[in-house]
Structures are given as structure tokens and as C-alpha cells.
Structure 1
């Protein structure tokens, strides 16, 4: 494959699976995926919190399908698994790895390959529910001290107004977004709380109702000044189209692992922007591999809301170098290196590996 803009054919001849040890937080262990072409150029992707079933499907179904499929552009790689049972996280890891490989072959930063234009991104962070309001304020203080400019608070009925009021009293200029996690209904009490939250100047109210109830989201969206944001209903590009058609909100959280990779995620950003919706790039990734891909996606001009990054204070070395993190609330988009812009630290990777497997066409 020449290092030019000409379309040439890529064939994957080796696929490596690496299961990392489960993090202490109790979430499932991620699986990293490496694809390599005939010239030994590689690209990486991540399956966050991968299950044993996903490992098996990678080994027994997705790998053989990818070995049998040649493609000229990474947008064509997904044709390999089009007839397999849909698994957006698995598809997303392979799609991302193919984009990474293709960009490295062309000596192009992944952000530019996707059409990204921005060189630095405002970072946001999500804080889960705490035991007390005071502990929420302390944790917000920690993240603000680290430079984060947008905080996304998890709320639920009875754990919402007091929390937001307390944070705003301590940090009146902080940008706040709330994640309701589908925990509210259209009961009078819940609607009253949502309308009260609407008066607090929030960036967005995310997933207030059951993810499948787009009509309820659409009704609420017409009543509030605050944009209703949707994240959980989006598991494929068709879901994005359905949400937009239903006019179920005004903002979307795009997560490439939930949508099936960079190819559909890039299209989702374009479609949302064309419909007049705001976009932020969320991330279920637990390693720098997935987060680097998220940063590249968030460099698109239409993804104007803060990109999701891990909170300050996490310990341990990442598997990529340099690590993907925010500095004073800003995430740089790597533009001096090709592909993801972050190399794999093999020493760290080996120390965190619980299981690995290398596959090739003769092994499948």
C-alpha cells in the first residue's frame, strides 16, 4: 500500500487480542485489538468491558470474516462483519483499528483522516452519585482544581435539585450537565423536578426517561429551554436517525463503542449537525486506545460540546504513550504523529495482560 492518496487494497493478515486485567472499580476488563497488514503496519482498537462472549465472537466470527475481506478505505472494512450478529463494541474496536492502520500507512493523523479540524478540545468529566451532597461538592472541587470546565453529574429523583444547587453555590461559573440515566417518568412529581432543573441554566439534561420512549423525550423537549440530550438510545446509526426524526431532544452524546466504530460515529456527528443538534463525544473506553479515538472523533467541527475524559486522580500507567488526558481542562489533538497519535507501551501492556491470542488466516 503506497503512502499516497491513491486507493489501494488492504488485507488484514494478523489479528491480536489482548485481555487486560479487570480494573479495581469492578467494571469488566477491556480487550485491545491489533490488526496488521501484509507489510506489518498495525492499528489498534478497544472493546471496553468485554465479556467472554465478545472474546469468543472476535476469535471465531469477526477475525475470519476480516481475514477474508479486502478493503481500500476503512469505511469499507465494516462490510466484513455486516452479516454477523450486531455487536457495536466489537465492531467498533475493529473499525477503529482499521482506521488507525490506514492513517498510519498514509502518515496522517487520525483526526485529519476523519476530517477533523480542531487542534485542542475542551474537556468534561462525569461524576457518579456520591453518598452525601458534601462529598459531591468536594469531588467537584477536586476536578475543577484539575482544570475541568464541564462537570456531568449523575442525578435521580430525590437526588437532583439539592445537589445541583449545592454545586452551583460553590462554583457559580461552572458549566453543569446532568445525566438522569432514564430514571424519571412523566409523573407530576418527576416532571416538576425536571422543570425546576430547567430553570438552573444547565448545559443539558441527559436521558431523563426510558431510552426507548422517544415520544416522552420529544414532549419534554418542547417544554424546556435546556436541551434534552440523548446518549443511551444510540446503539447504531439507525438509532441516531430515529432520534432526530422524533425530535426527541437537541443534543446527542456520540460514543464510537456504542455506535459500532469511527465510521458510523463520524456519520452520526454529521447527521446530528445537519439537523441542528449539538454534539459531544462520550467515551466508555477504559484505556488510552479508546480515548485517543474519541479525541480524534471530537476534533470534528460539529462536535462542539466538551469531550468526555477520565476524572483527575486516577492512578496507574496507561497502555499508551503519551497518556491521553486533559491538561488544565484542555485535551490536545495529536497532529504530529500518524494514526491515533499515541504509541502502545509494550512494557505496561505486558504487565497488565491477563490473556492474549494472535490469529492469522491459517489459524482460523
Structure 2
């Protein structure tokens, strides 16, 4: 692939509105944008979707930067590849660090597609011209969540995910369901519950939720299987699925009916596509999850979600939901509940260099 250099940009942008869960209140989003450039000057883009602190997974912006600079980029330098599929084997000796691996793999997949002068969705086997979009609501109060949901419904979103936790669940869901009786709602618990909360979680069945996402432990599969037998609301696994092996185990145990596939969480496209195929074969519903990303990662999510089989609207909201101005040259726009795919080579967007410079706190370049 003749990768000549890799650039890392640490950026920080203020959210238009605070994003609130029981684990974290976020007003500013930090990230790392990756550029992989070949000898002809073509540039592929990737993004680290870890957060500044380890509230979602153990990875952070700082740990990912270390892994990229000191481990992963040197691996690519020592062992040049001819196709992005080779990265899985190359990164195999490195335990964990899925988000760091995914960010570099994303950039190299994008570069490869640009070298082939084809859209990335085309190389992945995507067929959809537009993908269904959902959005996440996180606020300090029920009134705030209702207000956010009204705004999103007015913008055309047909699926809304609400954050719940102990002490802020049944009342929240009831209020949203009463306000939006026909809206597709799902609840995300971010592992706020234990198995002995099963009877309480069963009380959510009456609200016709599309699913409840990751109610139990972040590394659990067994207790989710037990819980799924006790409640009728489908369980969606998120944090528990970090590898194809986890997906195989979840299928054998019948731990879930739905899976949220996030490129960053599972280590990039190669693992995501393997999980996708396992889900299709075993009739597990899928959707493409989001991480309050910048435009680079959102464009990658659109490429992935263009595959048939992502039957549930994903977290692919408009750039304007979170940012006054995104860092890409063609903002992500949701129209009537859908996002059109980009038909330019690669992920279909480039960096807005002026905006990138405004929000960049540090950059470093590595020659290969």
C-alpha cells in the first residue's frame, strides 16, 4: 500500500449541549484524528473514539496515543502490508486496545479505498444508498430528555435511545412513552443493573421498547442469558462484545437478540465484518452504534451501516446534533430519518483543514 507517513491530531471540541449518563457528564469531547498518507499523496482518515477518562472502556485518549505512537505505527512500519485485511494478523500479538487498533485500521481501509478509486462501502459489500439514522438522548432531567426528543423527531429521527439507570428508569421510560406513544424507543443502561434487578427490569416490558442495551456487567454473557429468559424486551449487547469469539459465545448462550456493532469497540472493520457475518447467519439483529464522534468516524459508520443486515437505525446523527461546526468538508446530514451514503472514493469526506487547525491541541507526524 506504500504508506509513507502517518499523522496524529489530538483535538478537542465543546458539545452544543452536555451529554449525561449515570457514569459521566460530558461537555467537551476529545479525540484523535489519524491521517495515513501514501507515496502519491492520497490520504486515508481514521478516528480514535475513546473518551478522555475510562468510563466506557479501559481505553482513553492518552492510552490510545501511546499505543499508536509506540506500538501500532511501528508495527506497520516494520511489516508493510498490501491489504487492510492483513492488519488483524499484524495486530494479533497486541492484547486489547481495540480502539487504538480500530483507528489506525480505519485510516488504512480508507486509504486503500481511495487508492482503488472506489467508495469504501463498495469494497465492504454495502448496497444501501441511504442508511436509517437514530439518535441518543442524554440530559439532566426528564423534561430535558423530552425536549431533546421533540427536537430530534422534528428533524426526522425515527429511533431514539434514552439513557437509564437505577432510580432513573421506569419513570423516565413512562414519560417518554406517554409523550411519544408510537416512537421507536430503546433504553441504554450502560451496565447499571445486576441480575437480582431482573423483576424490576421486567417492569419495563410494558413500554414496548425495541430493546434494552447492556443492562448487566460489561464483560458478562452468562447472566444476560439468564435475564433474557426472564424479560420479554430483547437484550442488546454492547460492551460485552469486543471480539468475534465473544459473539460466538453470546450466540451459544442465547445472551441477546440484538447486537450493537461499534468499529472502535471491536477493533475495526475486520472484526466488525466477522461479527456481522455471525449475526446474519444466526439471525441476530444488528445496528451500528456511535460514540459521540466527530465526522470522520461517522462517515466510517455510514460505510459499515450500508451493508444489508443492519436492520435497526444506528447512532448516525447529523453533525449539527453535537457540533457548531464539524471537522469534515461535507457534514453528516439526516433527512427524513436517513443519511445518504457518500459516493466519493474512500469514506467520501475529507478534512476541513481550517476547522481542524482551530480545534487541534497537538499533532505529530511519523515517517514510515
TM-score (norm 1): 0.90
Q: Which of 132, 146, 151 is residue 155 of structure 2 equivalent to?
A: 146
Aligned to 1:159: 168
2:341 to 322, 333, 354: 333
How far residue 53 of structure 1 moved from its aligned partner, in angstroms, is 2.9
Partner SS for 2:118 = coil
2:8 is aligned to 17
1:179 to 185, 188, 191: 188
Alpha-carbon separation, structure 2, partners of 1:147 and 1:65: 44
Q: Distance in 2 between matches of 1:205 and 1:338?
A: 36
**Corresponding residue for 2:84?**
74
2:137 and 2:38 map into 1 onto residues whose CA distance is: 40
CA distance in 2, matches of 1:52, 1:209: 27
Question: 2: CA distance between counterparts of 1:324 and 1:340?
Answer: 12
The farther-off stretch of 21-30 and 213-222 is 21-30
- Asked if structure 2 preserves the Cα contact closer than 8 Å seen for 1:77 and 1:98, the reply is no
Q: Distance in 2 between matches of 1:28 and 1:216?
A: 33
- Tell me if structure 1 keeps the 8 A contact 2:42–2:111: yes
Q: Does the CA-based 8 Å contact 2:14-2:323 persist in structure 1?
A: no
**Partner secondary structure for residue 168 of structure 1:** helix
Structure (1 or 2) with the larger CA radius of gyration: 1
Instruction: Please identify, of 262-271 and 46-55, the stretch whose mean Cα deviation from structure 2 is larger.
Output: 46-55
- 2:281 is the counterpart of 1:267: no
- Is the Cα contact below 8 Å between 1:17 and 1:33 reproduced in 2? yes
Specify every segment of 5 or more residues in structure 2 that has no aligned partner in the other structure, as ranges.
16-25, 52-59
SS at match of 1:70: coil
Q: Distance in 2 between matches of 1:272 and 1:229?
A: 12
How far off its partner does 1:22 sit?
4.9
TM-score, normalization: structure 2? 0.89
- Unaligned 5+ segments in structure 1 are 1-9
Return the offset for 1:323: 0.9
The whole-number CA distance in structure 1 between the counterparts of 2:257 and 2:106 is 27
Q: How many pairs were matched up?
A: 348
> Counterparts of 1:244 and 1:172 in 2: how far apart (Å)?
32
* Whole-Å separation in 1 of the counterparts to 2:294 and 2:140: 27
Q: Say if 1:69 and 1:77, in contact at 8 Å, map to a contact too.
A: no
Deviations 1:297-341 (A, max 9, x none): 111101111010247643421111211232232111112x01001
Give the aligned partner of residue 46 of structure 1: 47
SS class of match (2:157): coil
Q: What is the distance in 2 between the residues matched to 1:300 and 1:280?
A: 10
Q: What is the distance in 2 between the residues matched to 1:119 and 1:203?
A: 25
Q: 1:255 — aligned with what?
A: 262
Q: Does residue 222 of the first structure (1) align with residue 229 of the second (2)? A: yes
Match of 1:136 among 134, 145, 155: 145
Q: Is 1:91 paired with 2:101?
A: yes
Equivalent residue of 1:192, what SS?
helix
CA distance in 1: counterparts of 2:204 and 2:29, whole angstroms: 33
Q: Which residue of 2 aligns with 1:6?
A: none
1:233-252 alignment to 2 at 5 Å? 233-252=240-259
Match of 1:200 in 2: 207
- For residues 285 and 67 of structure 1, the distance between their equivalents in structure 2, rounded to whole angstroms, comes to 31
Q: C-alpha root-mean-square deviation of aligned residues, in Å?
A: 1.8
C-alpha deviation, 1:26, in angstroms? 4.3
